[in-house]
Chain A
Amino acid sequence: MNALEIENISKRFGDFYAVKNLSFKILKGSIYGLLGPNGAGKTTTIRMVMNIIIPDEGAIKILDGKMDEGMKQRVGYLPEDRGFYPKMKVGEILLFLADLKGLKRQEARKRIDFWLERFDLADWKQKKVEELSRGMQQKLQFIATVIHQPEIIILDEPFGGLDPINTKLLKDIMLEMRGKGGTIIFSTHRMEQIEMICDNICLINKAESVLEGNLNQIKKQYGKNTVVLDYEGDAGFIKNFPETDKIDDYGKFMEIKIKEQTDPQDLLNKLVGRIKINKFEVREPSLNAIFIDIVGEKNAQDTVSH
């Protein structure tokens, strides 16, 4: 059963395609990641799902229906451009937004206290929003998104501006919600965030989907052709090895794509003694590597065709 079905939607602003022929389906009870660099069309896609922007072409089906008044009660939305009325108190603004979602006052109060407690904001309930830090406001916005226990939550860049502790808290809550049958869609331009919690992903680049599907399958598809090396010393010489295809060197940490038909053990043997090796792991490529792989190729093609 699908929570969201997007079929061939396109949106143009003037001559510029913000989204082009995008299709994907999201299974109920899963976490779906919309991935792509800045300006790829993630926010436009999400706004079309929310019926804020109307697609030029294509169809969107959410929970087997349309995004109308009634549907909005079943959906939680955290926009990328988000903020609160600065003069309202924390408790008031949450009560107002819960009220808009049709929550009974008493129930809303109970849930607000629960969530403020959980996000360590209970002491701020009577404070004005403008007195809160950005990170606190962000937590508040997340509370507003889930206060009415929506069946689907749609989060546009939910982790931006959060510290590691709160990022983890948010991830835990998202996993918890999935455990209770909730569906979560979120966008990000940071791959490692998707890798940890997503079941399925859609990779968008320049308005078009370049990769879509189950994250595990995608990774398997790319095979165990990657070596992750945690090292000390000067490893610049590795790129001259015939076994290596592509290298992302981060200084103390290296992701190496090895050529087909190559045994990673040979590579390990050649490294021993030349640098200090803290970790040598053979695995699927990281999403980052896959992304650069695809987007890099695509960009290369564009250059040729022009």
Chain B
Amino acid sequence: MHKILSVIKREYIQIVRTKGFIIGTILGPVVMAAFIVVPVAIQFISVDQQERIGVIDETREVFMELDNKLDQKLKDGTRRYLLEEFKPSANIEELLQELNKKVLNKELSAYIFIPKDISEGGEAEYVSEHVSDFDKRGNINQALSSIIIGERLRGEGLDPQKIGEYMRPVKLTTKKVTKRGVERDTGGTFIISYLLVLILYMTLIFYGQIILRGVIEEKSSRVVEIVLSSLRPFQLMAGKIVGIAAVGFTQYAIWALFGLAVSQYSKGLMLRFFPAAAAFEMPTIPSYIFIYFVIFFILGYFLYATLYAAIGSMVNSEKEAQSLVMPVTMFLIVPILLMLFVMKSPNSSFSVVLSMIPFFAPILMLLRICVLLPPFTQIAGSIVLLIMTTLLMIWLTAKIYRVGILMYGKRPNFREIVKWMKYG
């Protein structure tokens, strides 16, 4: 036990010290934060610059109302859009050319052309140097629509007083039904499921690769026989896998602390910069999801770590390992590809069967738990299957490992590997 502990300690210290780990640990939350904050921030971001927008209003009726409607304010309280009317002259083409030039010269950030027949279905035009500013186009489109639709309704003789009321948009609230009752869900389930599964997937591959590289390094540097003069191959393998698991937990712990801090303070922080974000609700993670995440991470980690260790012991170089790693990586990629399907119909028999397959279970069962808590028997069943498969893999890998780790030269074929298993 003391020896395994020594190996665990070495692995842990060596990995935690690497630049890769430090950078990954820091960048992880930054990327995560970016995932959460950036879309929200973009939604509520307000450009700190006034924009001059030209308007050619052929109807001669819309401009005033548009100017009233487009009253978005900048932080300092001034108007975001400064509208400037250009009277349609006889030669409309000439006017358009002139405005195009103004846009190119940055005198205008954009201009809007409102045709005479806009009420009858004529298309308004929005002309700008870059047309990817969804926010601005959205504002203009909304304003124009409500003006024109209001116009039409008035034309039909409706009470102008009531038109505003008629045109109130419909609000769609998403709710999630669980055993505990009905809860509001602002898309948080989707984000959380997606994020958790992605984290699991990335860390399984990441730590699997670390183990693979570690075993290959031990072989290619020829240190393994020296180490084995003090301990058994299984102790070395176990120490390595547990040591790197400890690295993984360290990383998770750092991330979790960061996440906690973010969820504590981020709202206040966001409100300071984007007051409009008040409407946004931070998704919360139910504790049972968290517990299952840890369980499936541990089980998935040991299953895949063992596979990667077996591959590492069979080959002489990382290059040689690639073709053998492919099928293992596929086991991880397949559930990611099936993610959307399982999210859409988490209780279909196809999803249930897939989530019971031990190699897919860590990702797909966790996903099902996030989306719609499956019956406990299914969860327990998949965990039991996963544990049994992992134990079987550890048993087989130990046999492959103890022979392979000292074998140099040609990569063994399948028949030879079967023979190794019989040796032990």
Residues of A within 8 A of B (CB): 50, 52, 69, 72-73, 75-79, 81-88, 96-97, 99-102, 141, 144
Query: Can you name the residue of chain B whose Cβ is closest to the Cβ of A130?
Result: B221
Residue of B nearest to A77 (CB): B229
CB distance from B3 to the nearest CB of A (A): 6
The answer to whether A100 and B3 touch (CB under 8 A), given A72-B229, A75-B229, A81-B408, is: yes
Residues of A within 8 A of B218 (CB): 85
Main SS of the interface on chain B? helix
Q: List 7 A-B contacts (CB under 8 A).
A: A77-B225, A79-B229, A83-B221, A85-B217, A85-B223, A88-B14, A101-B230
Q: How far is the CA of A52 from the CA of B3 in the complex (A)?
A: 18
**CA distance in complex: A82, B7 (Å):** 18
Binding site for A on B (CB under 8 A): 2-3, 6-7, 10, 14, 217-218, 221-223, 225-232, 406, 408
Partner of A79, one of B2, B7, B226: B226
* B366 CB to nearest A CB, Å: 35
Q: Are A52 and B228 in contact (CB under 8 A)?
A: yes
Q: How far is the CB of B286 from chain A (nearest CB, A)?
A: 42
Bound Cα distance from A246 to B126, whole angstroms: 106
> How near does chain A come to B212, taking the closest CB pair, in angstroms?
16
Assuming the A-B contacts A81-B225, A84-B221, are A97 and B14 also in contact, with contact meaning beta carbons closer than 8 angstroms in the complex? no
Give CA–CA (A88, B217) in the complex, Å.
Answer: 12
* B401–chain A nearest beta-carbon distance, Å: 13
A97-B228 contact in complex given A81-B222, A83-B222, C-beta closer than 8 Å:
no
| Interchain CB contact under 8 A, A97 and B230 | yes
CB pair A141–B230 under 8 Å, yes or no, is: no
When chains A and B are docked, how far (Å) is the Cα of A237 from the Cα of B10? Answer: 66
Query: Nearest 4 pairs between A and B by C-beta?
Result: A83-B222, A77-B229, A100-B230, A79-B225
**Out of B2, B6, B221, which one reaches A96, CB within 8 Å?**
B6
Minimum CB–CB distance from B355 to chain A (whole Å) comes to 40
Q: Is the beta-carbon distance between B225 and A82 smaller than 8 angstroms?
A: yes
A42 to B230 CA separation, bound complex (whole angstroms): 21
- With A82-B222, A141-B226 already in contact, the answer to whether A100 and B217 are too (CB < 8 A) is no
Closest Cβ of chain A to B406, distance in Å, is: 6
On chain A, the residues within 8 Å of B232 by CB distance are: 69
Question: Could you tell me the distance in whole angstroms from the C-beta of B14 to the nearest C-beta in chain A?
Answer: 7
- Whether B226 and A87, one on each chain, are in contact in the complex, defined by CB atoms closer than 8 angstroms, is no
The listed residue (A76, A78, A85) touching B221 by CB distance below 8 A is: A85
CB–CB A52/B406 < 8 A: yes
Across-interface contacts of A86 in B (CB, < 8 A)? 217, 221
The answer, among A73, A78, A83, A99, for a CB contact under 8 Å with B223, is A83
Complex Cα gap A144–B227 (Å): 10
The chain A residue with its CB closest to the CB of B18 is: A87
Q: How far, in angstroms, from A99 to B3 measured CA to CA in the complex?
A: 8
The answer to whether B6 and A52 touch across the interface, beta carbons within 8 angstroms, is no
* Closest residue of A by beta carbon distance from B231: A100
Distance, CA A305 to CA B29, complexed state (A): 76
Complex: A82 Cα to B225 Cα, angstroms: 7
CB-defined contacts of A73 to chain B, threshold 8 Å = 230
CA distance A113 to B352 in the complex (A): 61
Question: Across the two chains, which residue of chain A brings its CB closest to B225?
Answer: A79
Residues of A contacting B2 with CB < 8 Å? 102
* Beta-carbon nearest neighbor of A93 in chain B: B223
What 11 additional pairs, Cβ within 8 angstroms, besides A69-B231, A79-B226, A86-B217? A50-B229, A72-B230, A73-B230, A76-B229, A79-B222, A81-B408, A85-B14, A88-B14, A96-B10, A97-B226, A102-B2
Which of B2, B226, B232 has most chain A Cβ within 10 Å?
Answer: B226
CB distance from A110 to the nearest CB of B (A): 19
CA A78 – CA B228 in complex, angstroms? 11
A154 to B419, alpha carbons, bound, how many Å?
Answer: 30
Complex interface: chain A residues within 8 A of B231 (CB): 69, 72, 100
Alpha-carbon distance A87/B16, docked complex (angstroms): 13
Distance in Å: Cβ of A12 to nearest Cβ of chain B: 13
Residues of A close to B223: CB separation below 8 A: 82-85
Complex alpha-carbon distance, A84 and B14, angstroms: 13
Least distance between B305 CB and chain A CB atoms (Å): 19
Of all chain A residues, the one with the shortest Cβ separation from B7 is A100
B14/A87 in contact, CB under 8 A: yes
By a CB distance below 8 angstroms, the chain B residues around A82 are 222-223, 225-226
Q: How far is the CB of B12 from chain A (nearest CB, A)?
A: 12
Given contacts A77-B229, A82-B226, A87-B14, contact A99 B408 (CB under 8 A): no
B408: A residues at CB distance < 8 A? 81
| Chain A neighbourhood of B229, CB < 8 A | 50, 72, 75-77, 79
Q: How far does the Cβ of A206 sit from chain B's closest Cβ, in whole Å?
A: 21
Complex CA distance for A83 and B227, rounded to whole angstroms: 10
Chain A residue nearest in CB terms to B423 = A54
**A77-B6 contact in complex given A84-B221, A85-B14, A86-B221, C-beta closer than 8 Å:** no
A77–B218 alpha-carbon span in the complex (Å): 17
Q: How far is the CB of A107 from chain B (nearest CB, A)?
A: 15
B227 touching A97 by the CB < 8 A rule?
A: yes
Q: How far is the CA of A77 from the CA of B408 in the complex (A)?
A: 20
Chain B nearest CB, measured from A128 CB (Å): 12
Instruction: Kindly report which residue of chain A lies nearest to residue B408, judged by CB atoms.
Output: A81
A52 to B230, CA, bound (A): 11
Q: For A150, give the chain B residue with the smallest CB separation.
A: B229
Q: How far is the CB of B56 from chain A (nearest CB, A)?
A: 69
For the complex, give the distance between the alpha carbons of A114 and B223 in Å: 23
CA distance A100 to B231 in the complex (A): 8
Q: In whole angstroms, what is the CA distance A72 to B232 when docked?
A: 10
Given known A-B contacts A81-B408, A88-B14, A144 and B226 have beta carbons under 8 A apart: yes
Residues of A within 8 A of B227 (CB): 97, 100
Contact, CB under 8 Å: A77 / B14: no
Q: With CB as the reference atom, state the residue of chain A lying closest to B214.
A: A85
Q: Which residue of A lies closest to B221 (CB)?
A: A83
Closest B-chain residue to A100, C-beta based? B230
Q: Which of B3, B217, B230, B231 has the most CB of A within 10 A?
A: B230
Output the least CB separation between A6 and chain B (Å). Answer: 18
Instruction: Name A100's contact: one of B6, B222, B406 (CB within 8 Å).
Output: B6
* Bound CA–CA A181/B336 (angstroms): 64
How distant is the Cα of A293 from the Cα of B231 in the complex, in angstroms? 42
Report chain A residues within 8 Å CB of B226.
Answer: 77-79, 82-84, 97, 141, 144
